[in-house]
Each structure stands twice: as structure tokens, then as C-alpha cells.
Structure 1
Amino acid sequence: MSSAATKDTPVWQISIEVPKCLDEPVTELLSALLEQPASAYCPLESDSAIVSAFITERSQWSRERNHQLKRQVLEFFPGETRNQNWKATCRKIKANDWQESWKRHFKPLEIGSRLLIKPSWNRRKPRKSQSLIVLDPGLSFGTGQHATTRFCLEEIERLQSKLSHPSLLDVGTGSGILAIAAAKLGYIPVKAFDFDPDSVTVTRDNAESNDVSDLIQVSRSDLTKLTPQAGTKYDLVCANLMHDLLKSHAETILNRLKPGGYLLLAGILTEQFPAVKECFQRLGCKQIKTQIEKEWKSGSFQLPA
């Protein structure tokens, strides 16, 4: 489904409330089930997250799919979810109603002293020292509000000054926000890939609207099918992925990093982080920084020169 909808397009919103610690895994499950991208909204004052997907045909959601989602959640996360009432709701909305809802939640975001991320409807102007990223949410894609994405953005901004001619690879690019930020900050070259074709389309659209489409190479690739060997290596590799993917494909990810380069690992629950850390340290990486925000832990690593 396109990330944009016309003013009068009918849209059905599938929503399910989950504990915040499960927002990303359940988002992945719902996305795979519907074969549409999904997203999570995490109110700061709540311990829950709302995972949503948007469809343009009511027949895409059925009682069977609702039950299938519940079975998968219980199978993957029995300890967290056994007593949860896993019932998804489906309601018909108009695209303009959805857009107005996002306008209430999506606020400008400053990253360090050099980046300002805002939606197009916000009138805030960047300071002279700031590069501006205008990123409207599509029907599901992220905008930098999640803790793990913010960590990656902050590290991209911080590490740029430590590298003489920085280059960046974004593994699992999503909306393309990390690649766009890197291009705005002067990383050359910047490459981004994702398995989801909708993510590739949205990343290209976002890059074009921010005047960096000629600076970012965007492609559809499956991390699980890449060979460990790599021709091109980068100064900074970002991998904001689920922990099982990070552990299973650590060698493939690291082989795309230059000696002395930096690796950002995010999207990891705090209790899962030690296993991910151990996996990459066995391959020679040194942990240089970590950040914990609520249930999420992210880390910066460096490969020896």
C-alpha cells in the first residue's frame, strides 16, 4: 500500500495494545501477517504501545488473521503475553482523519546541535547550525521518535566529526531517516537497504523530498541472503534490527565495516543486549558506548584499526 492516501480514500486501521517492551516484535509480526508495513506509537506517560497497520481493503483483516496474530505472539513471547487480552480492533477511517491524528503526536525533534526533524505542517525554522529533515509519516513508517532511532541519529551526528571522510551503510532502513540524516551531515557515500519493498519506496520518496536522492543509494536486499564477504566497506554501519537477526548475521554485518570503523546496534531489549554484545565482541568489536531508555538498550562499537 502506498504511504500516501488521497483526501477521501477509505482506510481501515488495525490496532492492538501491547506492553512497550513488545512494540517492535509485535510490529514485525503484524507487518508480516498483513504483508503491509506496521508501526508502534508509544505515549510517554504509558507503559503500553499501540501497534497499528493501515489497509485499504476490509477483507485484508479477518477473524482468522486476528487469531493467527494471537497465536504467534503467544508462541514467540509466552512470558510477557500469556495473560494479555490479545484482541486487535479494526475501524474504518479516512486518510485525512489519520493525518490529523498524527499531527497531534508528531512534534519537531532536535538531534544534537546539527539536526532538526519535523513534519511539513510544522512552521518551526532550523537554526543556522542545523540541517533540516522534513519527514511526514506515511501510513506506517517511523519518524525518529523511538528511543532506538534517536540513539542512532545522535551517534551519526556525534561520530561524523571523528571520521575524516565518513561513509555510512544503513541496514534495514525503514523510512530512510538514518541515511537521510547521514547525507545531510556530509557522509559520502551513503547506502541503505531493506527487505520490505514499501520501505525502499518510502526511503526513496523521503530522500527526494529532502533533496538528497542523488547522495543515497537505496536498494531492496535481504540481510539473511547476503554473503558474509563484502566488496564495499563503510566507516559507520547502522543496524537497528531485532536481536535474533543481529546475532545470526553478525559476521555479514561486520564484514561491511572498515577497520577502525563504528557499528551502531539498536532495537534491542535490555535483557537481550548481553547476548548481542558477546556475539559482536567475539568477532573483534569493542563496545565504546551504551544507552538505556526504558526497556531498550543500544550500543556503539568499534572495530580495531
Structure 2
Amino acid sequence: MLEGLLPNDATHYMRVSAPEGDARRIADLIAETFDPAEVAVANFEQPDGVWAVEAYAGSAFDPDMLRDLVVVAAGEDFAARVEFGELQEKDWIAASLEGLAPVRVGPFHVHGSHDRARVPPNGIGIEIEAALAFGTGHHGTTQGCLAAIVDEARRGTPRRVLDVGTGTGVLAIAAARRFRTLVMAGDIDVVAVRTGKENARANASAPFVRMVLAPGVDAPALQREGPYDLILANILLPPLKRLAKPLRPLLAPGGRVVLSGLLESHANAALAAYRAQGLKLVRRRNIEGWTTLTLSAGGASARPLF
């Protein structure tokens, strides 16, 4: 999932301030409506305690539709406050990051470079540079996947990990930092792959993370390194359903699949597609209206931790 990545052709932005609940509903509805490769959206708390929603797009920028979505999510009053504008030649991504506090999930602390000093000595810091991405880690889908990685660590160490739709690479980096094992990471977008490589290097994970430009899981490099004990897929419902059948042969006996990018109302549809491939639900985790599913192939899998 291209969470937090600026679309390649971004030229315009939308911005609106609202209380936290309204801001989250606005951001979630925009994220659900548009292709994340075409429209990037983030919501975050500002220093004054009011939340902001920002959306960035190029050819997909549609002010009327965006305003209508704000009406549906939060009402006419907030739609009247929406601001639109053209992107200027400035480090607007860094400005967005300044208002974001680090996100903690178990030992993981996802943060910007401005918060590097806030990572505790026993924490696993994952730094996403402001020049490359914004908002990563603050979305409920990413948090759910990070929590699933923490769950997997309690079981042992997977021999091979696959991250489908890696985006900024935050999940691949988290798995590499926690398990110190090979993590294959694929994405259909060349910008995402380049960003993931840079983030892996910045987070001392490059020796373990291999980024691949790949739609789905059919790339020879991804096929060659399987089967995988842990597969992460934080994307959207339609591609998750399409992946169910081709992904199944890549899962090792006893391996686990973590699915996210799902609204709570979409989770059962994804679950049905993977149950049809013989997988069983292990855990359903809901965070801020988004669902993360962990499924198992049954049998033994992860190696014990020593």
C-alpha cells in the first residue's frame, strides 16, 4: 500500500481542519475512494490539538468530489472550510511530518528524523525521512501489521518473509530489524521500490531487505525465494482478493499471512477468499476503523527464538 507516498504527478492539494473523529472519517473515506497511487492522504494532530486532513494528487485531483466526500464524512460545515491549492517548490512533506509524534507498536517506534532522539535505547526505531514520505506508521492498517509482526516474534523466527505492496518499506524494515532474516519486498510502483530501498539503507536493514518491482507475487525473484513463513500484504480489498490463489503456493506449511488495508466492512470478503484457499483465521485486529487479519496454513512454522 502506498501509504504516505506523494503521487508521481502531484500538483495540487486539499486541506481541512476538524476534530479527531471527523478528521479520521474524512481521511478514511478519501483513502477508500481513490487509488492510493493517485491520491495520497494523511491525517494528523496539529500543535493546537486540532486535527488536519491533507490530500495530494495530480491528474486525479477532483475538488468537487473531494468536497462531496467531506460532506458525507463530516457534514456541510466542514466542507465549507476545505482549502485547495497548488503545490509550491518547498519541502511540504517535512512540514507535514513536524506535527506527527512517533508511533509505538510493541518495540517498534516509527518516527521522522526530527524525533530520532525520542526512540528509547531498547526500542526498534524505524526512521522515515521527510524527503521521502509522510504519515507512514500513523495509519491503522500499518499499526495492525506491526502488531502482527510482534505476535509472530512471540512464536519464533520465520525463515523467509514476503511483503507484498511494500510502499515505503516500513513493514519489510520492521520484519528485518526484528527477525534479521531475508525479507523480500515487492511493489508495482517504481517510486515505492526506490523509496523502500533508501529507507532500508537508512534503517540499517539493506542486507536483509530485497526490494523488487513486481505486480502481485508472480515476479521470478519473489517465486524463487519462497516458500515464505510470513507474508504481509497491506494493500486494498480488490487486489487482496486477486492475490489469494497465487499467494497460497508461496506460503510454507504452518506459515501465516497478514492482510490489511481493509475497512471493517470489507474484512469478511477478504477472509472468505483466503478461507477458500484452505487458510484459517488466527486473529482479527481492529484499529481506528481498519481491520488486520492474520491467517494460518496450519502445521509447524517458525523456528524457536534462542
Alignment TM-score, normalising by the size of structure 2: 0.76
Equivalent positions of 1:1-305 (< 5 A) are 12-15=11-14, 19-28=26-35, 31-32=37-38, 38-41=40-43, 49-53=53-57, 66-67=61-62, 70=65, 89-104=84-99, 106-112=100-106, 114-138=107-131, 140-223=133-216, 230-231=223-224, 232-305=226-299
Partner of 1:7 in structure 2?
Answer: none
* 3-state DSSP of counterpart to 2:114: coil
Moved more, 263-272 or 137-146: 137-146
Report if aligned partners of 1:23, 1:40 keep a CA contact under 8 Å in 2: no
Distance 1:219 1:164 in 2: 23
Query: Residue 165 of structure 2 aligns to which amino acid in structure 1?
Result: G
Structure 1 residues 98 and 266: alpha-carbon distance in aligned structure 2, compared to 1, 3 A threshold: closer
Give the gaps of 5 or more residues in structure 2. Answer: 17-24, 300-306
Pairwise CA distance, 1:224: 7.6
Pairwise CA distance, 1:185: 0.7
Structure 1 residues 27 and 256: alpha-carbon distance in aligned structure 2, compared to 1, 3 A threshold: same
| CA shift digits 1:124-174 (9 cap, x unpaired) | 353343222221244655421101101101111221231244421000001
Report if aligned partners of 1:148, 1:296 keep a CA contact under 8 Å in 2: yes
Query: Residue 41 of structure 1 aligns to which amino acid in structure 2?
Result: N
Structure 1 residues 102 and 265: alpha-carbon distance in aligned structure 2, compared to 1, 3 A threshold: same
Give the count of matched residue pairs. 275
Identity level (%):
22
Pairwise CA distance, 1:115: 2.0
Report if aligned partners of 1:180, 1:212 keep a CA contact under 8 Å in 2: yes
Give the gaps of 5 or more residues in structure 1. Answer: 5-10, 54-59
Query: Residue 52 of structure 1 aligns to which amino acid in structure 2?
Result: Y
Query: Residue 192 of structure 1 aligns to which amino acid in structure 2?
Result: A
Distance 1:52 1:111 in 2: 27
Structure 1 residues 19 and 238: alpha-carbon distance in aligned structure 2, compared to 1, 3 A threshold: same
Report if aligned partners of 1:167, 1:236 keep a CA contact under 8 Å in 2: yes
Distance 1:274 1:254 in 2: 18
Alignment TM-score, normalising by the size of structure 1: 0.76
Structure 1 residues 123 and 202: alpha-carbon distance in aligned structure 2, compared to 1, 3 A threshold: closer
Pairwise CA distance, 1:222: 0.6
Report if aligned partners of 2:144, 2:287 keep a CA contact under 8 Å in 1: no
Query: Residue 90 of structure 2 aligns to which amino acid in structure 1?
Result: A
Pairwise CA distance, 1:109: 1.8
